Structure 1
Amino acid sequence: MTTTDYPLAERRRQEFVAGARATIPLIVGAIPFGILFGTLAEPSGLSALGALAMSLIVFAGASQFIALGLLTAGAAMPVIIATTLVVNLRHMLYAANLVPKIRHLPQRWRIPMAFGLTDETFAAVSNRYLQQEDSRELHWFYLGSFLAMYSNWVLCTALGVGLGKMFPDMTRWGLDFAMSVTFIGMVVPYLRNTPMWAAVIVSGAMAIATAGMPHKLGLMVAAICGIAAGLSLHLLKRRGEMTKHEQPAVKHGEETGG
């Protein structure tokens, strides 16, 4: 490595470490969630090896829990695949937000980044993009966040499989509550104006109202309604600001006879 290469390598290392560090608070909330998945696997008809393989290959907490429930209910494989696909459609919204910032990256980066796109990593990376304008090396921050979350999820799944055999009633401990708190902690810091609050309130209300829809389609309905509400208020706000700026100019023109 030459001296000219060292600053770039050091900057990448710092971004990688920063990404992992920024994800630690979110990992703490995900630990009980991962353990709970491991404990539920075998009672739901999934082997210990199958549970580990699912966490390694699928790497999607909510979808993995839904797949377990459908396995227990005896659902057919196409139904399980279709349902988990619908639940993960929210990642398309995350991806659409990140595309302008990673457009310069080659395919060899985009593929693993797509696999590692989780709610926690998106929250950590989005915050970083807001704080730093130069995004040329921020994919290393993304990689650090992704690998930290990924290793934690697989490790907690393995831990849950082992603990499930020792404590068969762990599902009654209420560990799933930790994930709800984590999601609240992820969202609240970003609520900085009225359109953002409107998006969260509308999507939350719609999620409750459409909870009975099949295949968890209510999640997408809630997301679309929340986005529509937030975007509408944002556009109205911008229109109001533009109107305020135009009014003095009109008055000035009238006074001068223009």
Structure 2
Amino acid sequence: MKSNIKVFLKGIVDVSPLMIPVVPFGLIFGVLSIEIGFSPIETMGMSLIIFGGASQIVLLQLFSGGASSLVIISSVGAVNSRHMLYGAVVSEHLSDLKLLWKIIISYFLIDQAFAVSNEYLKKNKDKNRYFHLVGGGATCWVIWQTTTFLGIILGSAIPEKLGLSFAVPLTFLALLVNDFRKFINVIVIIVSGLVATFGYNLIPFKAYVIVAALAGLLTAMVFTKNKKKYE
């Protein structure tokens, strides 16, 4: 059995390639948050407490667009609801852990860490395999907090023509690459994307994120009933 440190370092190595687009993503969040009117303490507080890049960007977009508190909270909750699925998937590998460790791991269970650690957990049965998830998640945490801070400090020095906004979709496209291999996944991505795009100006109260998520879930539910037919 590999030592805890080796498994931890393995998580860092495996998640590192996915950190490349996260750097400009974190810078963007720090810059936008200050420009919208949040203080540096509030901006760092969001990254420390929420620790979810997509939901934090959504929060800023809706806040700047004048959305109500109810819509903002609901949208952020909808975007972050995917973490419940992540938790359900990895729970079978962590059932023997103490509650404290489960709480720690749940905090670090974000998109990139889940993407690499889920495969590792499936292939390795050692009792300390959860250190891979801790290593990956901790790496994401350090990168995100550091880049958020740099975005706050250096935001005014970053020229608009640099085009850092490309990093937001790029980050999630990197995570979706494997999903394009299945017909059902592609249909769900297309449906939710179209609903969000066309609903941006049509759906009242800036609730397009919630509606798009529900449309994607409904589509997935319909198609998975005939899963064998489409795979």
Q: TM-score, with normalisation over the residues of structure 2?
A: 0.85
2:141 to 132, 136, 150: 150
What number of residue pairs does the alignment pair up? Answer: 222
Find the aligned partners of 2:155 and 2:138 in 1 and give their Cα distance: 25
1:86-105 matches, cutoff 5 A = 86-105=78-97
In the alignment, is residue 46 of structure 1 matched against residue 46 of structure 2? no
Partner of 1:120: 112
Which structure: larger Rg?
1
In the alignment, is residue 219 of structure 1 matched against residue 208 of structure 2? no
Partner of 2:99: 107
Find the aligned partners of 2:142 and 2:11 in 1 and give their Cα distance: 14
Shift of 1:230: 4.8
1:218-257 matches, cutoff 5 A = 218-226=212-220, 228-230=222-224, 232-234=226-228, 236=229
Task: Indicate if the aligned counterparts of 1:39 and 1:164 stay in contact, CA closer than 8 A.
Answer: yes
In the alignment, is residue 159 of structure 1 matched against residue 144 of structure 2? no
Letter in 2 for 1:180: P
Task: Indicate if the aligned counterparts of 2:55 and 2:76 stay in contact, CA closer than 8 A.
Answer: yes
Shift of 1:66: 1.4
28 and 140 in structure 1: CA distance in 2 versus 1, 3 angstrom threshold: same
Shift of 1:42: 1.2
237 and 66 in structure 1: CA distance in 2 versus 1, 3 angstrom threshold: closer
Find the aligned partners of 2:164 and 2:221 in 1 and give their Cα distance: 30
What is the root-mean-square deviation of aligned Cα atoms in Å?
2.3
> Cα deviations across residues 86-118 of structure 1 (Å, max 9, x unaligned)?
111111221221121111111101112112121
> Cα deviations across residues 32-83 of structure 1 (Å, max 9, x unaligned)?
1001001111111111121111111110111111111232234443432222
187 and 227 in structure 1: CA distance in 2 versus 1, 3 angstrom threshold: farther
Partner of 1:203: 188
Find the aligned partners of 1:231 and 1:129 in 2 and give their Cα distance: 28
1:134-145 matches, cutoff 5 A = 134-145=125-136
Letter in 1 for 2:77: L
Find the aligned partners of 1:48 and 1:185 in 2 and give their Cα distance: 29
> What SS is found at the alignment partner of 1:103?
coil
> What SS is found at the alignment partner of 2:182?
helix
In the alignment, is residue 16 of structure 1 matched against residue 8 of structure 2? yes
Find the aligned partners of 1:86 and 1:164 in 2 and give their Cα distance: 29
1:20-99 matches, cutoff 5 A = 20-99=12-91
Deviation >4 Å, runs of 4+:
none
> What SS is found at the alignment partner of 1:137?
coil
Partner of 2:162: 173
Find the aligned partners of 1:40 and 1:63 in 2 and give their Cα distance: 14
190 and 208 in structure 1: CA distance in 2 versus 1, 3 angstrom threshold: closer
Task: Indicate if the aligned counterparts of 2:24 and 2:164 stay in contact, CA closer than 8 A.
Answer: yes
Aligned-residue sequence identity (percent) comes to 27
Letter in 2 for 1:198: F
Find the aligned partners of 2:93 and 2:230 in 1 and give their Cα distance: 26
Task: Indicate if the aligned counterparts of 1:199 and 1:227 stay in contact, CA closer than 8 A.
Answer: no
Unmatched 5+ residue regions in structure 1?
1-7, 239-258
135 and 226 in structure 1: CA distance in 2 versus 1, 3 angstrom threshold: farther
135 and 96 in structure 1: CA distance in 2 versus 1, 3 angstrom threshold: farther
